[in-house]
């Protein structure tokens, strides 16, 4: 039954649903910890530093496995993503009995594994099952589900009476999702009926590392994502410094996540509708990037109804082109479907490393508790894609689409 179903023409929809479940699991589990901070610290007698280390441990998985996950996907295929979901589920189970600080830290790293692998490999997987014009739209949907699951993790954790109950729920959810994934996930068959070609590791690494376009896309993602990722670190405390209660600050800060979510549904459609040439895409990247500059640098200082609107727009502008950026490697000459996993792995690693390095080791030491300076420095990061917008590496994409249209006429 499953074999016949997996060979049907519309099975790509099932694969997309599996990606939704796979990305939702680690993000839901990770962001439960944000709402359980006080309870977890009290239960385990953790210092603020120890709690912060546990809360950010899933991000370390992205730095460790980001590039490697893409290389492994190109070499071994979808089975490496399955392995990452096994590790995430193991992490969710491992943290249930609390244990020691070290146990929670290791569990956090394991939990972040599936998010890393799916973020890296989703463009390649989607590209196997759907035509190129659909990849940005569906990648945007994957990212939107990720943001929704983060919000659900934060919003539902407080409904549980104990930390252990909340952790047990996500552990059971992990086992269920892992079972469903193993039942329905499959590799796209090539036209000859076999599995996709395994790519030698060093071949893919060499092709990607020396490719100028991949490094350019990495800089575009760095400028957009490092800024908005750091906003989530500083925003609640910045709003509290304005006189808000922690609860008010938390609710307002969620406007950024809501903007991230909405833009991943809306912006791919806008890009598909208006970005029909490199010139138009350049203008759109510049508009989105300068919008992020303004709303990140100054939006948190707005008053009244303008505050949640500005925070929403900061998230909207920041993440609007992320799905598009991550699908560019599929169209780059010298990368394409063959090396796209490794290419996106490099891009993800660069943007995650920047998201950790900039707030912790650059901005915080310079600005201290001066939130005006902090957000001005964060707002400067999106100037990178704005300045680089004329060099957006999409020439091959549009040459190919123009060639296809000419061939069809």
pLDDT in tens, 273-319: 887 788 888 999 999 999 999 999 999 899 888 999 999 999 899 88
Burial of 49 (0-12, 13-18, 19+ CB in 10 A): exposed
Between CA 48 and CA 359 the distance in angstroms is 17
Render pLDDT for 313-354 as a digit per residue (tens, 0 to 9). Answer: 998 998 888 888 888 888 888 888 778 778 888 888 888 778
| Alpha-carbon dihedral 290, 331, 142, 360, rounded to 10 degrees | -50
Between CA 320 and CA 288 the distance in angstroms is 7
Res. 6 pLDDT band, cuts 50 70 90: low
- pTM for the model stands at 0.73
Per-domain residue ranges for the chain? 7-187, 199-409
DSSP 190: P
Render pLDDT for 58-85 as a digit per residue (tens, 0 to 9). Answer: 878 888 888 888 888 878 888 999 999 9
For 185-201, what is the mean pLDDT? 63
For 371-390, what is the mean pLDDT? 91
CATH architecture classification, 7-187: Up-down Bundle (1.20)
Please give the pLDDT value at position 170.
93
Render pLDDT for 137-166 as a digit per residue (tens, 0 to 9). Answer: 888 888 888 888 887 887 777 788 888 899
Q: What is the CA radius of gyration of the chain?
A: 21
Report whether 332 contacts 213 (CB < 8 A): yes
| CA angle in degrees (0–180, nearest 5) for 327-134-140 | 60
Domains 7-187 and 199-409 share a fold: yes
Report whether 166 contacts 30 (CB < 8 A): no
Q: Which residue has the higher pLDDT, 63 or 125?
A: 125
Q: Which fold has domain 199-409?
A: Growth Hormone; Chain: A; (1.20.1250)
């Amino acid at each position: 039954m499953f074999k016949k179903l997996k060979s049907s023409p519309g099975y790509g929809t099932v694969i997309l649903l599996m990606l939704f479940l796979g990305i939702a699991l680690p993000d839901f589990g990770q962001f439960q910890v944000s709402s359980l901070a006080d309870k977890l610290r009290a239960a385990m007698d953790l210092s603020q530093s120890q709690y912060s280390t546990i809360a950010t441990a899933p991000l370390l998985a992205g730095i460790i496995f980001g590039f490697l996950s893409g290389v492994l996907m190109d070499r071994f295929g979808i089975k490496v993503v399955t392995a990452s979901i096994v590790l995430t589920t193991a992490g969710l189970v491992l943290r249930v009995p609390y244990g020691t600080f070290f146990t929670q830290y290791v569990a956090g790293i394991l939990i972040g594994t599936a998010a890393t692998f799916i973020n890296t490999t989703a463009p390649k997987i989607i590209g196997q099952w759907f035509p190129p014009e659909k990849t940005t739209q569906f990648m945007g949907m994957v990212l939107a589900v990720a943001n929704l699951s983060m919000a659900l993790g934060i919003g539902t954790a407080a409904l549980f009476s104990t930390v252990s109950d909340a952790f047990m729920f996500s552990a059971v959810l992990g086992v269920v999702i892992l079972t469903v994934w193993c039942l329905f996930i499959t590799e796209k068959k090539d036209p000859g009926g076999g599995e996709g070609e395994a790519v030698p590791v060093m071949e893919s690494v060499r092709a990607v590392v020396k490719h100028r376009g991949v490094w350019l896309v990495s800089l575009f993602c760095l400028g957009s994502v490092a800024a908005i990722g750091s906003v989530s670190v500083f925003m609640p405390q910045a709003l509290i410094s304005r006189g808000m209660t922690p609860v008010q600050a938390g609710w307002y800060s969620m406007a950024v996540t809501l903007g991230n979510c909405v833009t991943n549904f809306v912006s791919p459609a806008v890009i598909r509708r208006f970005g029909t040439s490199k010139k138009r895409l350049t203008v759109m990247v510049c508009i989105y990037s300068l919008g992020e500059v303004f709303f990140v640098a100054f939006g948190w200082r707005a008053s009244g109804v303008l505050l949640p609107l500005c925070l929403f727009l900061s998230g909207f502008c920041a993440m609007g082109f992320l799905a598009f950026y991550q699908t560019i490697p599929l169209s780059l000459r010298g990368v394409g479907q063959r090396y796209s996993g490794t290419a996106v792995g490099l891009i993800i690693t660069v943007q995650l490393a920047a998201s950790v390095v900039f707030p912790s080791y650059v901005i915080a030491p310079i600005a201290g508790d001066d939130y005006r300076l902090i957000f001005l420095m964060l707002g400067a990061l999106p100037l990178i894609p704005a300045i680089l917008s004329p060099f957006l590496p999409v020439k091959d994409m549009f040459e190919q689409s123009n060639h296809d249209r000419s061939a069809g006429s």
